[in-house]
Chain A
Amino acid sequence: MTSSQSHRLTSGGLIDRSAPLNFRFDGKTFSGFQGDTLASALIANGVKLVGRSFKYHRPRGILTAGSEEPNALVELRTGARREPNTKATTAELYEGLEATSQNRWPSLRHDVMSVNQLFAPIFVAGFYYKTFMWPAKFWEAIYEPAIRRAAGLGRAAGVADPDHYDKAWAHCDVLIAGSGPAGLAAALAAGRSGARVILCEEDFSLGGRLLSDGGTIDGLPAAEWLLRTLAELEAMPDVRIMARTTLFGVYDGGTYGAIERVNDHLPSPPEHQVRQRLWRIVARRCVVAAGAIERPIVFVGNDTPGVMMASAMRTYVARYAATPAKRMALFTNNEDGWRTVETALSAGLQIAAVIDARPDVSPAHRSLASKGGFPVLHGSVSSVDGGKDGVRKIAVSLTGGARAEVEADGLAVSGGWNPAVGLTSYHRGRPKWLDNIAAFVPDGAPPGMVAVGAANGAFGLGACLADGFAAGGAAAHDTGNSGKAGAAPVAEDEAFSLTPLWHVAGKGKAFVDYQHDVTASDIELAQREGFESVEHLKRYTTLGMATDQGKTSNVAGLAIMAAVTGRSIPETGTTIYRPPYVPVAIGAFAGHHRDETFHATRLTPSHHWAAEQGAVFVDTGLWKRAQWYPRAGEKDWLESVTREVKAVRGGVGFCDVSTLGKIDVHGPDAGAFLDRVYINTFSNLAVGKARYGLMLREDGIVYDDGTTSRLAEDHYFLTTTTAKAGLVMQHLEFCRQVLFPELDVQLTSVSDQWAQFSIAGPKTRDLLKEIVDPAEDLSNDGFPFMGAREVRLRGGIKARLFRISFSGEMAFEISVPARFGEAMARNLMLAGAPLGVTPYGTEALGVMRVEKGHIAGPELSGTTTAADLGLGKIMSTKKDFIGRVMAGREALVAPNRQVVVGIKPVDKARRLRSGAHIIPKGQTPGPGNDQGYVTSVCFSPTLSQWIGLGLVERGRERIGEIVHAHDPLRGEDYDVELCNPVFYDPDGGRQRG
């Protein structure tokens, strides 16, 4: 091996010889040029062996020059940026690039696992299914990890990706996939017509096959026409050209997915820039000019390094001035393959022979052969002799039975071309078979999409230009753009005469799917074992299931299956095509949504004040809520929470409860509306009063609860739980717009308008007197329990005050407009300092609600009825409401339902855990005697022991009974007593006081 670019032509190609680049492959330093891919640079350095195959660890070389590459997969970059399974054929070279070959140990040239080849006869299709079936539990623990180590691809970095990815939307009239002649012609026609156009090109250079194959367009050399066309397109303000962008999927409503490799061509993205960007493109029309993929022919030794697709061979020579072989042979079944010979000859390379499977070769090519001094052999390649250093000799079986040998260091293969039917088939489209090109072409496409040029089976340059131009013009016209498109570019069509040839039978391994090591005999075996359906064939052999999704292998596999079953290829059919067209990094789908920005967060109005106080925050849905406020010297959360509870019960504390959903219900029919959505009545609620309300789902199960206050005749202020705020708003809007459109009622979410604090404890009134204007009467007479009205605060602002209690203490909730929320917290601290006011978090809030036996999320579990929760009494019998009828179903009113009950451990020192199952005392736990479970627990500072709530069968009739708590998750078993769920102040004197 050498690092002097021994296989680089001295002139030609689209590389910049003035910009040399150093790179490393498997630790060895090489050089290449700007404009190279990793693959072309390796070829220019004479590197033939680039990887080991998936199952047999066979030496593999570069097969293609595009994103269909099955072999040349490398780990690109190092450390946290290491990317496995990167195609050397699409990776752009940059200074300092580091790549490592995959799936070999200890080195690419000396791979221990290549002994797998010796066992090849047993590693046939279905081998794993057949062999590792027993014992079943060994599969996960032993077999699968071992197999994955041996048969694998690259290694993931294993640490977080340091780069950023983002996502963006784009919109256009006409979206074009591919910048080959068909795509460029479509863009010209659409752009000139005035359409908004987006042209996506996977490659970093625009032009598609024009870059490799040249030709003459409008009397100009292709390269010149390309420059002129790109200049014209770039001058159009509404034409956007996106290179390094693969259109990988089509979704509903004309939405397309594309991945833009913004900075993959640099060692790392510049500061503030992203590595890749995921595009969602909304297009009214789409022209698929994605070209075609040349297909291999299956013969023995067809995976030897140095065997390459004919089109790739001439791409490396013409575009990259790199020579995969010095003396090459061509094996073709069609006219197009011969273009590689023309390219090679004009680059001064030797042609060893052309093996043409067709009966006839054109006179032009015959004279080319005699001029070039090489033989034309009619027949097929029967095997290749070579190894990890490449092709040495090619065995040919000639038509008529004779054999011949050709000495060559490279073999170009062309089995014809398969149109890229992916995009057109992603909505369950099934492509149709065309006999004249022996290939599948799109048969229809998702709405608004059309395939043109080679992607539609029209391979000639003239046809591509004409097709593309017509489709681009039509798409522009369909989307209301009527500018003059002018004349279509003109070129001649090349001949393409093909005699189908899929498989040359022989002794030895002949590969169909290179990446998954599926051979022709695997397909024959699948057929013998009954896996004839293409979908079964795919799963049994894993044909087409590798990262390349069978781009070079699927059709050959179908053809072999067709041959062994005696059916035609279209009868055999294709598997379902699914996006993405190329692998897309998960990071690109995640975009900005990772780590702390994984999802949007909501902050309460007092959040930053609470953070200043050192609050510990808990994620509650999207919210960050203060969970407790630790103080210096407190050893754990329990100590902090216990202090907060005691401070409230003994004095006064406050808690930001702004997370509750808040809804303004306006209109003359507001009361009537609430009567229909709540099980209890609100139309008779007096102005200035609040009432607890419970709403059911249509099926009679409890949906949500909260207090609703009447602030004016035609204005109620409704609150929901934090968890259901958005859902209740949706539900109420549905009721308003769909169920009860006759009611004059208007709903507005005011959740974010108000900062709301609960102030609780026996000294609440003392604290409020400091805050509220002295003119406001806060006495029991002036502001009784469940009162609700607007008050004026000292300093002039207005607030809403509600005398409601969740803690069981004397309590108020106070609301101020949200921008005053932080000031409210500070003022409460200031005014309450002499009273020892204590801010408390959601844990203390939870402890006090359990002590008081109030239900919350764990009890509103979507399985409980109002009666289960002990709230059956408030269900009105005088009116209709949502859920009323279904709530009366037999099972929902059965006497043995699990209902809310209090739970205390018999051993007072024991900790309770929610989730423990309740079993009758003395019985062995099992599903037959499971009577419910513990829903909520807390350590009650008031009772100095753990207490809980549970849902227990006939619980309310069993107060005082000792039952058994069984907690298999934590391995705990203990006795508990069923008790009244109201542990604290059961007659409610404190909250009324």
Chain B
Amino acid sequence: MAEFSWASRSPLEHALVTGAHGARGVEAGVSLTEVRNFDLIQVMARRGKAAELVNAAKGRFGVAAPNAPKAMQSQDATLIWSGPDQFFVLSKGGKHTMDTLALTLSSPASLSDQSHARALVSISGAKARTMLAKLSSIDLHPSAFPIGAAAATSIDHTSVTLWRGNDRSDGQAVFNLLVFATFAESLWHTMLDAAAEYGADIGQSEEF
């Protein structure tokens, strides 16, 4: 009998080359880090049960589910708005999977597993906003897009979820981007192209 390997393979595995990209001899203006192997569950309130879902989510995560384009950080998950009465639960390490969330949320909500349907890229660095201005029509000025701001938008005609996470320890802003898995490699090349003139530091991580 054949020995099967079920190696998980990120949609960016082929395209992502860690290290420096683009302009050299300067401090990299942009850091692009792919975060791999996350759990992402779409939670959509059933008809008339939005309030019940809010309570259930509050009980489960300890933070209020976002009711506007925002990302809420809990102890071990990020709740990201994805539309009226719906949000994503992003987590690592199997803490919030279809099976575990169904216990508390399946009565007020429909759950759909999107863990494999997206790639997650984190963008930071002194030139992160400048580089993102080439990709996104969203105003990312600190006054318009503070920590926790989120947007369901499109980049390069590709649907994405963009939100601002907590700042890096050096104070630099961090932008997180969820993109559909089958578009990920294409968008990745667009991002590399946009970042090249500032110098990019490419990495991948199993942690947020």
Q: Size band of the A side of the interface?
A: 35 or more
Residue B7 at the chain A interface, CB threshold 8 Å: yes
Q: How far is the CB of B200 from chain A (nearest CB, A)?
A: 10
Assembled-state Cα–Cα distance A271/B196 (Å): 9
Provide the B23-36 mask, 1 if CB < 8 A to any CB of A, else 0: 10000000000000
Q: How far is the CB of B103 from chain A (nearest CB, A)?
A: 16
Best-surrounded residue of A171, A623, A821 (most CB of chain B within 10 A): A171
Residue B187 at the chain A interface, CB threshold 8 Å: yes
- Chain A residue numbers with a CB within 8 Å of B185 are 601, 603
Assembled-state Cα–Cα distance A781/B66 (Å): 48
Q: How far is the CB of B160 from chain A (nearest CB, A)?
A: 11
- Chain A residue numbers with a CB within 8 Å of B136 are 169
- Check B197–A273 contact: CB distance below 8 A: yes
Residue B115 at the chain A interface, CB threshold 8 Å: yes
- Check B5–A171 contact: CB distance below 8 A: no
- Check B186–A601 contact: CB distance below 8 A: yes
- Whether A171 contacts B144 in the complex (CB less than 8 A), given A271-B23, A750-B117, A823-B7, comes out as yes
Of B42-50, B57-65, B167-175, which stretch is located at the interface? B42-50
**Which residue of B7, B44, B134, B186 is within 8 Å of A167 (Cβ)?**
B134
- Check B190–A752 contact: CB distance below 8 A: no
- Check A272–B117 contact: CB distance below 8 A: no
Chain A residue with Cβ nearest B82: A748
Chain B residue with Cβ nearest A826: B5
Assembled-state Cα–Cα distance A770/B2 (Å): 8
Residue A561 at the chain B interface, CB threshold 8 Å: no
- Check A820–B8 contact: CB distance below 8 A: yes
- Check B47–A744 contact: CB distance below 8 A: yes
Residue A539 at the chain B interface, CB threshold 8 Å: no
- Check B133–A169 contact: CB distance below 8 A: yes
- Check A748–B112 contact: CB distance below 8 A: yes
Residue B207 at the chain A interface, CB threshold 8 Å: no
- Check A770–B133 contact: CB distance below 8 A: no
Residue A886 at the chain B interface, CB threshold 8 Å: no
Residue A94 at the chain B interface, CB threshold 8 Å: no
Q: How far is the CB of A639 from chain B (nearest CB, A)?
A: 29
Residue B114 at the chain A interface, CB threshold 8 Å: yes
Residue A830 at the chain B interface, CB threshold 8 Å: yes
- Check B141–A196 contact: CB distance below 8 A: yes
For the residues of A in contact with B, the DSSP-based class is: mixed
- Check B46–A604 contact: CB distance below 8 A: no
**Which residue of B47, B156, B186 is within 8 Å of A667 (Cβ)?**
B47
Residue B158 at the chain A interface, CB threshold 8 Å: yes
**Which residue of A168, A752, A826 is within 8 Å of B118 (Cβ)?**
A752
Assembled-state Cα–Cα distance A669/B110 (Å): 12
- Check A170–B186 contact: CB distance below 8 A: no
Residue A600 at the chain B interface, CB threshold 8 Å: yes
Contacts of A602-618 to chain B: CB distance below 8 A: 602-605, 608
Residue A818 at the chain B interface, CB threshold 8 Å: yes
Q: How far is the CB of B197 from chain A (nearest CB, A)?
A: 5
- Check A752–B117 contact: CB distance below 8 A: yes
- Chain B residue numbers with a CB within 8 Å of A667 are 46-47, 110
- Chain B residue numbers with a CB within 8 Å of A746 are 44, 46, 86, 110, 112
- Chain B residue numbers with a CB within 8 Å of A167 are 134
**Which residue of B10, B158, B197 is within 8 Å of A274 (Cβ)?**
B197
- Check A171–B139 contact: CB distance below 8 A: yes
**Which residue of A274, A622, A753 is within 8 Å of B114 (Cβ)?**
A753
- Chain B residue numbers with a CB within 8 Å of A603 are 11, 182, 185-186
Assembled-state Cα–Cα distance A715/B186 (Å): 32
Assembled-state Cα–Cα distance A169/B113 (Å): 33
Q: How far is the CB of A752 from chain B (nearest CB, A)?
A: 4
- Chain A residue numbers with a CB within 8 Å of B156 are 592, 600
**Which residue of A170, A273, A664, A818 is within 8 Å of B181 (Cβ)?**
A818
Assembled-state Cα–Cα distance A771/B6 (Å): 11
Assembled-state Cα–Cα distance A265/B91 (Å): 49
Contacts of A585-608 to chain B: CB distance below 8 A: 592, 597, 599-605, 608
**Which residue of B4, B113, B114 is within 8 Å of A794 (Cβ)?**
B4
- Check A817–B193 contact: CB distance below 8 A: no
Provide the A652-690 mask, 1 if CB < 8 A to any CB of B, else 0: 000000100000101111000000000000000000000
Residue A280 at the chain B interface, CB threshold 8 Å: yes
Assembled-state Cα–Cα distance A753/B5 (Å): 20
Residue B189 at the chain A interface, CB threshold 8 Å: yes
Assembled-state Cα–Cα distance A819/B112 (Å): 16
- Chain A residue numbers with a CB within 8 Å of B14 are 608
Provide the A713-745 mask, 1 if CB < 8 A to any CB of B, else 0: 011000000000000000000000000000111
Assembled-state Cα–Cα distance A754/B6 (Å): 15
Assembled-state Cα–Cα distance A816/B118 (Å): 15
Residue A831 at the chain B interface, CB threshold 8 Å: yes
Residue A348 at the chain B interface, CB threshold 8 Å: no
Assembled-state Cα–Cα distance A803/B195 (Å): 46
- Check B139–A819 contact: CB distance below 8 A: no
Residue A293 at the chain B interface, CB threshold 8 Å: no
Assembled-state Cα–Cα distance A465/B186 (Å): 49
Residue B22 at the chain A interface, CB threshold 8 Å: yes
- Check A817–B116 contact: CB distance below 8 A: yes
- Check A272–B22 contact: CB distance below 8 A: yes
Chain B residue with Cβ nearest A602: B182
**Which residue of B6, B137, B141 is within 8 Å of A797 (Cβ)?**
B6
- Chain B residue numbers with a CB within 8 Å of A342 are none
Residue A796 at the chain B interface, CB threshold 8 Å: yes
- Check A168–B183 contact: CB distance below 8 A: no
- Chain A residue numbers with a CB within 8 Å of B157 are 599-600
Residue A166 at the chain B interface, CB threshold 8 Å: yes
Chain A residue with Cβ nearest B196: A272
Assembled-state Cα–Cα distance A664/B115 (Å): 14
- Chain B residue numbers with a CB within 8 Å of A715 are 110
Contacts of B80-136 to chain A: CB distance below 8 A: 86, 110-118, 133-134, 136
- Chain A residue numbers with a CB within 8 Å of B37 are 819
- Chain A residue numbers with a CB within 8 Å of B193 are 164, 166, 592, 597
Q: How far is the CB of B202 from chain A (nearest CB, A)?
A: 14
- Chain B residue numbers with a CB within 8 Å of A592 are 134, 156, 190, 193-194
Residue A162 at the chain B interface, CB threshold 8 Å: no
Contacts of A746-760 to chain B: CB distance below 8 A: 746, 748-754
- Chain A residue numbers with a CB within 8 Å of B181 are 605, 752-753, 818-819
Assembled-state Cα–Cα distance A797/B116 (Å): 14
Assembled-state Cα–Cα distance A79/B193 (Å): 25
- Chain A residue numbers with a CB within 8 Å of B183 are 600-602, 622, 752
Assembled-state Cα–Cα distance A752/B183 (Å): 9
- Check A819–B197 contact: CB distance below 8 A: no
Q: How far is the CB of B97 from chain A (nearest CB, A)?
A: 12
Residue A795 at the chain B interface, CB threshold 8 Å: yes
- Check A823–B182 contact: CB distance below 8 A: no
- Chain B residue numbers with a CB within 8 Å of A274 are 197
- Check A282–B139 contact: CB distance below 8 A: yes
- Chain A residue numbers with a CB within 8 Å of B139 are 171, 282
**Which residue of A169, A272, A622 is within 8 Å of B197 (Cβ)?**
A272
- Chain B residue numbers with a CB within 8 Å of A863 are none
Assembled-state Cα–Cα distance A745/B110 (Å): 9
- Check A597–B189 contact: CB distance below 8 A: yes
Assembled-state Cα–Cα distance A603/B133 (Å): 26
**Which residue of A272, A666, A771 is within 8 Å of B110 (Cβ)?**
A666
Assembled-state Cα–Cα distance A733/B5 (Å): 38
Chain A residue with Cβ nearest B109: A746
Given contacts A166-B193, A749-B117, list 4 more A-B pairs with CB under 8 A: A168-B134, A169-B133, A196-B143, A602-B183
Q: Could you tell me which B residues sit within 8 Å of A by CB distance?
A: 1-11, 14, 22-23, 37, 42, 44, 46-48, 86, 110-118, 133-134, 136-139, 141, 143-144, 156-158, 180-183, 185-187, 189-190, 193-194, 196-197
Query: What are 15 of the A-B contact pairs (CB < 8 Å)?
Result: A169-B134, A169-B137, A273-B197, A600-B156, A600-B158, A601-B185, A666-B112, A667-B46, A746-B110, A748-B114, A750-B117, A752-B117, A752-B183, A830-B2, A831-B4
Question: What are the 9 tightest A-B residue pairs by CB atom distance, in nearest-first order?
Answer: A666-B110, A744-B47, A753-B117, A752-B117, A748-B112, A171-B139, A818-B116, A746-B110, A817-B116
